[in-house]
Amino acid sequence: MKFTLDNDTTPTNKSHIKINPLVWMKYKSDVVIPLTASVFICVYISYKYSYLFLLGVLLFLLINTFYWLRAKEHLKAESTPGLVISTEPPLMAVYSNMTKYGEFYPAIKIESFKNLSKHPVGARIATASIYTEENEENDYWDDFHPIPVEYGTKEKEEIESALSLYSIEQWRYLERGLSELGKCKKEGLYRIMAGESGWSNA
């Protein structure tokens, strides 16, 4: 499986959020705390019992480094517009053109998210998305994975700047796609505008 975080892919509408580790930890504590704790546990065991456990320290340090690099790169990936469509449970709908080469492959991704900012239904949110590919022969990505940019920053100027990247057309496609989906609020990826896009030949 190929990700858009790979070196041979470049975002067309790049996000420019600089990750704040403390903010990220608020939203991703279920991952960050165990990863960080694993390092300290190995340090304690190596001090208490055997220095051989220092190998474990090095291993978990590498894992932590890789994790933070991926998080940083995710927030600098493709910037994609989203709307809050539910607060109980918190759900966002995110629009993207999933093309690789310039065709039009519009889609909406419905995903859960941590709504610590208490966004109401209908609130616009900026997200950053990475894309995954399963079939290299397709002209489009197979899936995309958005996260709100507020996972990485609490600076209002950065968040507002991210929201300003989206065109009126992108918001219209998002609203039109939601209209096609009707009352559907099931998490997943949905192709939209099938009759007037590249999906008609996909």
DSSP 50-109: -GGGHHHHHHHHHHHHHHHHHHHHHTTSEEEEEEEEEETTEEEEEEEE-BSSS---EEEE
What is the mean predicted confidence (pLDDT) over 95-122? 94
**Residue 51 · residue 186 · CB < 8 Å:** no
**Residue 86 · residue 121 · CB < 8 Å:** yes
pLDDT digits (tens, 9 = 90+) for 111-151: 999 999 999 999 999 999 999 988 888 889 999 999 999 99
Q: Print burial letters for 169-183: b (CB count within 10 Å at least 16), e (below 16).
A: ebeebbeebbeebee
What is the mean predicted confidence (pLDDT) over 147-176? 95
pLDDT at 127: 97
Residue 96 has pLDDT above 80, yes or no: yes
Q: How many residues does the chain have?
A: 202
Confidence of residue 10 (pLDDT cuts 50, 70, 90): low
pLDDT at 195: 87
Query: How far is 25 from 190, CA to CA, in rounded Å?
Result: 30
pLDDT at 196: 87
pLDDT at 50: 75
Longest pairwise C-alpha distance within the chain: 66
- For residue 157, the 8-state DSSP code is H
pLDDT digits (tens, 9 = 90+) for 21-65: 999 999 999 999 999 998 888 888 887 777 777 787 888 899 999
Residue 202 has pLDDT above 80, yes or no: no
pLDDT digits (tens, 9 = 90+) for 62-92: 999 999 999 999 999 999 999 999 999 999 9
33: CB partners within 8 A, 6+ apart: 25
pLDDT at 46: 80
What is the mean predicted confidence (pLDDT) over 147-168? 94
Q: Give the pTM.
A: 0.87
pLDDT at 5: 55
pLDDT at 11: 60
